Every structure is written in C-alpha cells, then in structure tokens.
Structure 1
C-alpha cells in the first residue's frame, strides 16, 4: 500500500487535531535514513524531534532492549521496583549540572516532566505562581500548554488556561528584545501582577525549541538565577529538546555556567523509547508526599534499558564533540549561501541544535511562505526538515548525531540546492 492510500486511511481514522508534517509513511529506518511505504529513501533531519540523537535503531540500544525483553517488560516500579531504574537515577544525579545532592523521578513524556517539576516546586515552596517565557514550549497538557508561550496551535480552542502562570519576553536580539528588556518586564511583573513571594518557579529552555532555537544568553540566566535565589524561587531548566549531547554538551545548561534547581528531560534520553525525568536538588525532590509523584509507565524497564545504552553511546562515541563538528559544518555551509539567499536573516544554535531564520528581503518581516517552500523542496529531494518559530519562519536541523559523513554531505547539498532554487523563484 502506497503513501497516498495510507494518508487517505489516516484522514478517515485519526483525529485531524494530530498534525502531520509529511505524508510519507515509514516502513524502515537506520541511523539517519528512513524508507517509506513506496521504497523511497529519505535523510532524516528531524530525528523524531530530537529523540533519536543516537540514530534510528542504534545496535547498542537495540541489544539493551532485547536483553531486557527476555527478563520482564513491566511491573510498575511503584509496585515491584527494579535495580535498573535506581541505577539510571544514580547516573542522572551524577550527570545533571549542580554540585549538590540530587534525586530523580521517571515519567513517560516531556510534558509530564514539566508538570511534575511544577508540582515539586509548589510542594517545596508552598507557592503557586509559575513564570515562563514567550516562545517557550513545555508540552500539550493543561499546565504544559499554559506555560507554553505560543498560542497557535497549542492553546487555540481549549478554553481558559491554568491560573497563576505568567509570561515574560524572551531575550532575542534579532527581534529587538534585549536582556535588559526581559529583566525590566520581570520587575514590572513583580510590581503589577504577582508578589515574588508567591512565585514557586521560573521555567526556561536554555535554547528554545518550538519557539525558534533562540539561545538564552548566559548573562541573562545568571541574573535569573540571582533573582530566584533572592526570592526563594525554584529555577527549572527545561532540557527536553536540548538534552543528551544535542548542543555539544550532555545538557545545554553546562554551556552557561548556571545551575538549575530542577532539570526536566525526555526525548533524547530514550533513543526512541518513551521515557522522561525530573532531576533536582534532593530536598526539593523529597518535598511532595509519598505517592505524590510517579505513574504507571514511568521508568518502564524497556525504556530504562534504552536510556542506559544511550548514555553509554554518547560517552563511547564522543557525541558531544560530534555535535560541535556537525554544527560547525552546517553553519559554515549556510553562511556561504547568505549572499545568494537574501531571505536568510540569521543562522544560529549551539552544537548541532541549529536553525536558519528567514525574512522577506527589505521588509524584514517573517517569511513563513519561503520557509515552507524550502522545507517542501528539500522533502521532494529526499531530505526531511522541520520548521518552528512563533511565526513559522525558522527551519531547525536535528539530524542524529551519529549521521555518517557521506550522508551528512549529501544532506548539505540538498539544503543548498533547495535554498538556491527557492530564492531564485521568490
């Protein structure tokens, strides 16, 4: 059955609310390549939205999961616990930035991780309010979408958001928002809307994901850390998309020199298997009452086994250094095209969490139409790309960090050709 027939079935059977970026149907994948229902090969620069950083079907991940399959697949850790859950918690406690005692809880999705970070912060502080940022993305659950700083499509039609969630502008120099602007907005918020003594947490992505791959300035995060300390506010780093070598460090906060109190993670941790976590200061993690955290599938044994293998692969294959090298090559190629593609407004991103932003030449307004044209042209040439940004005018590059050099070079050629052709036609 071909892609068109499968797409027709999807439209009949699946809620239209589940958006689909492409209409190609995967039947096989290996490292950075996917083959569809019609046998066509694609280079994958999405990685399941930064999930398979270690590539599709990494042999060590598969071997770890197969070994666990032969033992048991599910007991619910809250009913009958198992050592691998404890060991993974120990590894994350040691790996997450911060020179203090830490503890961890496992859940299933990134949205669950951010929800649980809020629960932990509220339990620890006895406060309710949460401050997030415009352009941020923290999930599709009610608290997750309330904290998310983008309305369409995440909040549209879903009624009132959760109370006591406030948003600040995120410092993006390209868009005329300075660090001083963001901090001044926080000062106004404290004076006009919420007493800092009622704020449980700040939640911030060190590099915004859905918002457009904007990197939080280290100086801004240092000041946010100082304000949090001054007022007894918990600082939460949402590393769901930035984590696990994507930015050239295991966690993006390592690049800033700033330590969060709680860190949320998911995506790249499981290498394709669903697992998420919150790791943080031990005293904060112990604040909720026994039974207040957890979930039936949280820390599923198969996903835990995959996560152990992912951490091993990142270390053994030095994927942090690999991310830096791949990102440097990609950005160099994009910069070489700036003269031929006047729509390019910015090229950015640490490690291999990179993006290019497009605006209309002369006007400087977001060029979502051009962005989509580039994405579609690349897809027609066999390269899967994702867009993002509040205005839909950013293409993000999220290939597996294990992508072979030859495949990576092929993808760079497709990116260049797509950009040049779309610019010539614009």
Structure 2
C-alpha cells in the first residue's frame, strides 16, 4: 500500500508539474504579444492579439485564488479612486468640461490591462519558484533584443510591417532604456559579447531614431554603473559615489555651456538647459509649436496643477483632457494630437502623479527614496541591488520620452520583476552602511 501511495503521489505531482509548465508557456506567450501589441494586431483596427487574449489571461488568474482576490482588490480600489477623482474633476475643478464616458472607459481598460500584466508576472514567480529570477530575466533580455530588431526593421525596411503602424520611436526608446541596465550588468558580470552587441546596437537605434531623452538616460545608466561598483573602503566609497559624480556633473555643465554640441540639429542648450531654466523660473515659451517648447510649457502647467491639487488627483487620463483644452495652438503637423480628445504630457511619472494624486506620488517617490538611500548607504551591493538602483534612479530621465506609457506593457513587466526580486532579497528593511564585509560576500559581489 505504501508503494502504491508513493506511485500515485508521484504521478499526481508529475501531472501538476505538466499543468504548471503549460500555464507558464501560455503566460509567456501572452506577455510577449502584449509587449508587441503595436504590431501584433488586426490591421487597420485597434484590436490587438493581447486584447483578444485577455479572457484567457483572466481565466488563468482565476485558477489561483490568492491572485484573483488581489486582482479584484486592486481593480476595485482603482475604480473607486478613479470615480471619486472624476467627480471632483467634472463637478469641482472643471465644470466647463463635459464628462467623456469614452475616455473614462478607455483608461479604465488600460489600467485593468496593466493590472493583468502585473498579476501574470506574479503567477510566473509562484510557479517558477527559485528559477524565477533567472528565467524571467532571460525573457526580458530576449524580448529587449526583439524590440531593438523591430525598431531597426522599421528604420531600414519600413514596408516589412505593411499597414501596421509602429509605436512612436520614443516609446521604443523607452523600451531600450528599460532593458539597458540588464545588458550593462550582464556585460559587466558575465563578460559576454552578446551583451556588448546589444549595448552597441541599442545606442545606434536610439541615435538613429532621435530618441534624445532615452539616449541621455542610458548614458546616465552607464555612469551609475561605474559609480556603484564595489567600494571596499571609506575612501574609495567617497571617491566613487560622491567625488567622481560631482566631477561628472561639472563636466556635463562644461559640455552644455561651453562646447554645446548638437544632436540632429538640436543644441544641448536648446533641449536641456533652456527648458530647465524656464521650468524652474515658471517662464513658458511664448509659442509652443515646436516639440521642446510644447513639452516645456505643458510641464510647467502640469507642475502648477500638481501643486494646486494638494495630493488629490484629476482621474486617469484627465490631465490629457485638460492639456487638449489648455493648449489648442499646437503644431498643425501633429495630426494625431489634433484629432484626439486628449494629449500626452510626454512625462509619464508626472502625468501619473497628477491623475492618481497621493497614490501615484507615493508609488513613485518611495522607490526613489529607497534607491538614493541604497546609493549612499551601502558599500557593496549585490547584482540585483545594482540593477534596481540603476533602473530606478535613471527612470525619471528616460521615461520623459514616450507619448504614453499605458500600453507599454514591457515596462510594467520589468518593474514588477524588479519589485518582486527586491522584496525577495529583503532590500527594503535595512539601509545600514556595510563598512565591513565578509570575504565570502566580497567574492559574491559583482
């Protein structure tokens, strides 16, 4: 009887493992088609393969009682908060504007789709167990290379995708910047040529497509990697984390104000120092038909809106509605913006903070506080700590480029992965300075 019971248990475990592997394969397929949703769609429609797969994704989530409860809790909390903010927006803030049910439903669907991505990544973690970090990181790196390849095909063989329009190149620039820390640390740790190729090709793609913000972001990531390399003494810690960054800032200052090079006809002063001065001085451009002036003026408006809201929000997507009303004289070449009911701020984190109020502020500020405290508070960091720090600190820079992040599911999958790995490593609980490291920890440090 004991042998029979053991055999039955073995067969049962084998069947469970097969079902779990099948679920994993399906989830990875859903995540991949979500990332590629701009080209994996029915031509000339807004129906993407990911949207078609959403019922299947929800069914998978329902197979895990813990995660379906959390999915419902997150979605329900979002809907209640969003309805409250919409009431404030249309009944108190802007009574001159009419409630747009289509916009409300659009952003509700977009946010629920994001929640589906987050939960699916968590389910992958539950099924994969200890293999999650290695396997999901491999998926991130491979998909990142696919995205770079798609961007190059769009540049050199535009007819390859037929009538399927590619996302804004700046959105792809955001993708490249999101995966760039993985390639940087992969090259640093493993010394593999494939990562050096990915880094080089990614830089070329950003330059060719004039994704200036993302290009600045990845250069910032390279600098951060150098700053957070092992510091075994107080002296080397001070030099690498403080002295060299100060010198680097001084060098950038000289580069901008003395050399003032140009990228695709735009000087660094024109795209960095002048907009920054106007934002700090609350001095918008007199006209905003150019890309830089439009982004500068809308950022000034958004910052003043955030200050006036005092922790409350406008509701998902409503900042875009306000921008459409406040900035009617945009460049006639921006046909998509002219025909749309809302406009993008081109600043994902600021837009999220304004739309979601204190919830958005907390979700964005806490990771930055953690990363800064980690930067100044720990001599030797693990591979994952370096990865989280580089991604988090550089995020406010390269996330300025895309026209909207609500459908950039690759970005949300990467963020979820980093949050899970940070939690598993218990990063958040201790920030004490590691002045003395054991020899074993030194050997493990990258």
When normalised by structure 1's length, the TM-score is 0.34
TM-score, reference length from structure 2: 0.33
Choose 1 or 2 for highest CA Rg. 2
